[in-house]
Structure 1
Amino acid sequence: MTSLADMADVLSLVADLSRDLPDQERYQRVLDCITQRFPCHACALLRLEQDTLVPVAVYGLSEDTLGRRFSLAHHPRLQAIAAQRGPLRFAADCELPDPYDGLVEIPQENAQTPLDVHDCMGCALYLDDRLWGVLTLDALQPGHFDGFDLTELEIMMQLAAASVAAAERMHALSQRAAHSEQVSQAMLQSRAGQDMIGSSAVMRALQDEIALVASSSLAVLILGETGVGKERVAEALHRQSDRARQPLISLNCAALNETLAESELFGHARGAFSGAVTERAGKFELADGGTLFLDEVGELPLSIQAKLLRVLQSGQIQRLGSDKDHRVDVRIIAATNRQLQEEVRAGRFRADLYHRLSVYPLQVPPLRERGRDVLQLAGYFLEQNRIRLGVAALRLSHEAQQALLGYRWPGNVRELEHALSRAALKALSVHAGDCRTIEICRTQLDLADAPLMTVSNDKAAEPLPGAVFEEPGWQGLDLRQATEQYQAQMIQAILVEQQGNWSAAARILGVDRANLHRLARRLGMKA
């Protein structure tokens, strides 16, 4: 007979049914309870989003697992677990590839080779006859689960389903209290397709702001460096808005000349210009009822800025070469990596248009400020490359993980994606076997251009600036002169990197802005 002490973890799970817990904590408590009852080397709880399983809590697996997305079409074991009611255990000689091969955490003293899974079982989790996700349990020794009671596992899964169902009901009630039923449904549907990877404090704050402004009709200006993922933020805003069922139309404003920009935005009539052989609708008409995303809006010619402002004020457009008005209902989301306030002062951007677009500004943090998010993003990109290259597993060595955490990422998420794509391709020609390990040398990071940082908790410490200084001409200089020359070069490099933003430069250099101005004047630099 099972004692109350043995059932303590189960009773804890039952008690959680009435508690209002954050989703992440609830999922982790479910996993902790199951691993107490069924000891194993690795365990994961994955939620089904369309035809893809998304890890929500893991035990004993590499941290980057949380960033991976497991398509059922590419993972036959997970597909088999999801297709069966009740627990499913795979034979030791099963030829189906295990999705966690190479991802089981390895103690550093035993880290010569990745460890493969040798005993595997799983169970589907249903809510009211709807498949919510799956639980997987893995062990490194064959026969590890021989003595386990699979009936008890099924009972535990029913308790887990009740806990998850309670969380979903609480969430639905809070949604209805804050929004109308239509907006709530749009937000829940958009969440299924959302892929903003990361759980750092700055990303959680950004996601909270997105949820706050998405359901409004306010124009949003997304700010951030090149490659941070501004387009992903725009997509999330649209998916969580009440326009989610309507189109999201994007236009990259960079490198558009005046005629092409006007035609792309407002459309053109037949014969409006050389080559206009047919009438054509512009982006505003295509986005009617939905959202228009203007990427790199700071690149628009001044003449087009005036026409765009007129549309935003009146809601009416005229196709190029036509005098007929078309009324449109479009929400505007714009993005730029420029400092638009500086562009306004320089006369390159209209002040009235800037104020129209920046009703609600959103700052997307650079990757160097997102701490350990880089490993989750790495897992996401490695899984994409694993499928594209047709290999069983791709993993990062411990040294490569530390290098990714320490690198400054001047190109942000886009640079990370490209670096891992190159490294995954190079790993094919170096490693034999099913599991390919990516070493730091194959990521081809320019560590001289962006020195390593120390990492603490959730956020990387600010490094010295990652600029390349000119060869110092210190010959014939005393220590004071050489120091001042180095200071001037460092300040200049940071100002170039931050596009002349003295406040940002001061934060990176760790000094007060006024003191930085005084130092620059003393060094003979022009503010």
Structure 2
Amino acid sequence: MTVYIVIMILRAINMYVQADLTQLALDLTIGLSAQDRFERLLAVVRRRVNCDAAALLVFKDQQFVPLAIDGLFTEVLGRRFKISEHPRLEAIARAGDVVRFPSDSQLPDPYDGLIPNHSDNLQVHACIGLPLIAHDRLIGALTIDGFNPQQFDSFSDSELRVISALAAASLNTALLMQKLESQVVEVSSDTEVLNRHASQQEIIGQSTEIQSLKQQISAVANTDLSVLITGETGVGKELVAAAIHNQSTRADKPLIYLNCAALPESVAESELFGHVKGAFTGAISHRQGKFELANNGTLFLDEIGELPLSLQAKLLRVLQFGELQRVGSDKSLKVNTRIITATNRILHQEATEGRFRFDLYHRLSVFPIHVPPLRERGRDIVLLTGFFWNAVRRSWGSPM
């Protein structure tokens, strides 16, 4: 009788294990959002291996970026882990197979101080890293931690490889669906462009408002529609413009930036359309304007509401006919430039009160995008805290 009970228990355990793995496989086929898929994956992993903390990370630009976490502080989602700064993650990235770190490993854990109720470094604990491979390429990692040094001894490498394979399939599916790409901006040597490192170009956040914003960016990026980005000062309108350009078919061409609020009216026309030698005092040579420099690429006009009325008609002509004239020239030049504009003003009201042309407003706002302020997406504050702390730590040269 006792043997029979033991056999039944073992069968029940095996069915429970298979059910978990089956759920992982089924999640690949149903219409979940990427974030739901990631969170369900971690829930299954944590239940399956009974770990105290787990994280799913995507690998890009020689760093791991957290996509979902369980048992870690929320701020981890805002951090970026360069493998050159984190020996354990580097070992996982290079292994190509299950990595079991010795419980007393001297390699610092990337999550030290980031596990609730464990502010000190985890000197002795169980730690497993699963590299996630798709088409012979590293796309991410799954990390599993337990406070008991022997916590994962009962799990075979074969069993962990099954979890790793399903996690890799789940991540690869999400990457293909969302076409996640590094946000790198083309740099030009002779003009002002958006010139920041890709990690600083990220739009950080998982709130409903940010998810909606990203969906709008994806919807309009691969078109040539004019985009008007609205929002308060400091909400990240420039990041939205960069994201639209980087996800467009023009991503390999320049993204040219011009702040209309910083332009004296006397030079604004030259900055936009260029000039020929002798057009005015100080014009000692021919000069291309921002429209020409952005030809076949994107021109981002920030603070468009500050553009003088005298120039708005000329800007409208370029948008209508794709032609411009340099200051001092009677020759027309054809340009193929996509326009993205941004303002913290309410342009419709400005037009109603005569401070902005209605016809230009309608040309610029074919696809309006509003960027919500941080106070309307409070759950993103913790993620941003982690992101900026990571940036400050690096600038100070601090190891942790």
TM-score (norm 2): 0.86
Alignment partner of 1:254: what SS?
Answer: helix
Q: From 67, 72, 80, give the equivalent of 2:78.
A: 67
Give CA deviations for 1:182-221 in whole Å, capped at 9, x if unaligned.
Answer: xxxxx65467966111121222222222222222222111
Distance 2:120 2:360 in 1: 56
Structure 2 CA distance for partners of 1:236 and 1:115, relative to 1, 3 Å: same
Consecutive aligned runs of 4 or more in structure 1 exceeding 6 Å deviation: none
Distance 1:321 1:188 in 2: 45
Corresponding residue for 1:202? 209
How many residues are matched? 373
Distance 2:180 2:65 in 1: 16
1:8-157 alignment, distance < 5 Å: 8-106=19-117, 113-114=119-120, 116=122, 118-119=124-125, 120-157=127-164
Distance 1:25 1:284 in 2: 42
Give CA deviations for 1:402-425 in whole Å, capped at 9, x if unaligned.
Answer: xxxxxxxxxxxxxxxxxxxxxxxx
Distance 2:93 2:386 in 1: 22
Give CA deviations for 1:293-318 in whole Å, capped at 9, x if unaligned.
Answer: 00011111222222212211221112
Give CA deviations for 1:355-392 in whole Å, capped at 9, x if unaligned.
Answer: 22112211111111012011111111111112111223
Corresponding residue for 2:347? 340
Question: How big is the shift at 1:122?
Answer: 0.7
Corresponding residue for 2:187? none
Instruction: Please tell me whether residue 220 in structure 1 is matched to residue 227 in structure 2.
Output: yes
Distance 2:394 2:173 in 1: 35
Which residue identity is paired with 1:65?
V
Alignment partner of 2:16: what SS?
Answer: coil
Identity value in percent: 52
1:228, 1:367 within 8 Å by CA — same for their partners in 2?
yes
1:237-316 alignment, distance < 5 Å: 237-316=244-323
Which residue identity is paired with 2:63?
T
Alignment partner of 2:15: what SS?
Answer: coil
Give CA deviations for 1:424-467 in whole Å, capped at 9, x if unaligned.
Answer: xxxxxxxxxxxxxxxxxxxxxxxxxxxxxxxxxxxxxxxxxxxx
Corresponding residue for 2:383? 376
Structure 2 CA distance for partners of 1:347 and 1:117, relative to 1, 3 Å: farther
Question: How big is the shift at 1:267?
Answer: 1.5
Structure 2 CA distance for partners of 1:5 and 1:348, relative to 1, 3 Å: closer
Distance 2:150 2:93 in 1: 23
Distance 1:131 1:99 in 2: 19
Distance 1:88 1:243 in 2: 41
Alignment partner of 2:262: what SS?
Answer: coil
Structure 2 CA distance for partners of 1:140 and 1:389, relative to 1, 3 Å: farther
Instruction: Please tell me whether residue 389 in structure 1 is matched to residue 400 in structure 2.
Output: no
Instruction: Please tell me whether residue 354 in structure 1 is matched to residue 356 in structure 2.
Output: no
Structure 2 CA distance for partners of 1:92 and 1:270, relative to 1, 3 Å: farther
Question: How big is the shift at 1:351?
Answer: 2.2
2:85, 2:399 within 8 Å by CA — same for their partners in 1?
no
Query: Tell me, which stretches of 5 or more residues in structure 2 are unaligned?
Result: 1-9, 185-197
2:60, 2:182 within 8 Å by CA — same for their partners in 1?
no
Distance 2:39 2:123 in 1: 22
Distance 1:346 1:332 in 2: 24
Distance 1:210 1:227 in 2: 18
1:102, 1:115 within 8 Å by CA — same for their partners in 2?
yes
Distance 2:227 2:28 in 1: 39
Structure with the bigger RCO (C-alpha within 8 Å, sep 6+) is: 2
Distance 1:232 1:209 in 2: 14
TM-score (norm 1): 0.66
Query: Tell me, which stretches of 5 or more residues in structure 1 are unaligned?
Result: 173-186, 394-527
Which deviates further from its counterpart, 334-343 or 190-199?
190-199
Alignment partner of 2:69: what SS?
Answer: strand
Alignment partner of 1:371: what SS?
Answer: coil
Corresponding residue for 1:434? none
1:45, 1:135 within 8 Å by CA — same for their partners in 2?
yes
RMSD between aligned residues: 2.4
Which residue identity is paired with 2:278?
G
Question: How big is the shift at 1:283?
Answer: 0.9
Question: How big is the shift at 1:71?
Answer: 2.1
Structure 2 CA distance for partners of 1:272 and 1:140, relative to 1, 3 Å: farther
Question: How big is the shift at 1:145?
Answer: 4.1
Distance 1:47 1:117 in 2: 26
Structure 2 CA distance for partners of 1:15 and 1:301, relative to 1, 3 Å: closer
2:227, 2:364 within 8 Å by CA — same for their partners in 1?
yes
Alignment partner of 2:133: what SS?
Answer: strand
1:455-470 alignment, distance < 5 Å: none
Structure 2 CA distance for partners of 1:3 and 1:314, relative to 1, 3 Å: closer
Distance 1:295 1:167 in 2: 33
1:101, 1:117 within 8 Å by CA — same for their partners in 2?
no
